[in-house]
Homo-oligomer: A and B are copies of this chain.
Amino acid sequence: MIRILLADDQHLVREALAALLGLEPGIEVAGQVGRGDEVAAAVAATRPDVVLLDIEMPGGDGLTVAAGLTGVRVIILTTFGRPGYLRRAMDAGVAGYVVKDARAGELADAIRRVHAGERVFDRKLAAASLSEGANPLTGRERDVLRAATEGGTIADIARRLYLSDGTVRNYLSSAIGKLGARNRAEAARAAEAKGWL
């Protein structure tokens, strides 16, 4: 019996996945949590074989949580097929990455293979990740761009990050250039789409 811990912030989706996996022979759902910061405790309490982690959750995103887990095999299960996320997931040492529009059989298959010691990554994403190369943004450019998506003015961003206006303008300009965009809105969208945010 493979014991699963489910982490997803949407209650209904979580229960639905539990119902789905419950139908699979040899797989058993040992626990469920709805927040990133509850995962570690739940792992300690239920000792699952495999953790299914969503990325976007309150209380810490799945990629960060995954990096902190030891002694369990982790599969990222998310809506977002962003190449950058896959890369970050691999860096975090996860054993699998499945997108939410995979078929039910694929998920079960991934769980069994991961439990058997294999690593399982979405094919399309893996290809996209290779063809696109690494994130071209520097750390600071990422910070500024992230703050820019919030919608504030340059002065707001500067205050939030304790930088001067001119510096913020420069980082934005550089990020815009690297991403082939024409303004920050476009740059932010492009970076987000690739999971570089």
Contacts and interface: CB of A to CB of B under 8 A. Distances in A.
B104 A12 contact: yes
A178 B115 CA distance: 54
A151 B181 contact: yes
Contact of A19 (B11, B12, B16): B16
Interface string A114-149: 000000000000000000000000000000000011
A12 B153 contact: no
Interface residues of A, number: 38
A104 B11 CA distance: 8
A101 B20 CA distance: 17
B23 A151 contact: no
A184 B152 CA distance: 10
Interface in A166-186: 181-186
A79 interface: yes
A67 interface: no
A174 to B, nearest CB: 18
Given A11-B102, A153-B182, 16 more contacts: A10-B100, A11-B103, A11-B104, A12-B77, A12-B99, A12-B100, A13-B16, A13-B101, A15-B20, A15-B104, A16-B16, A19-B23, A19-B104, A151-B188, A151-B189, A153-B183
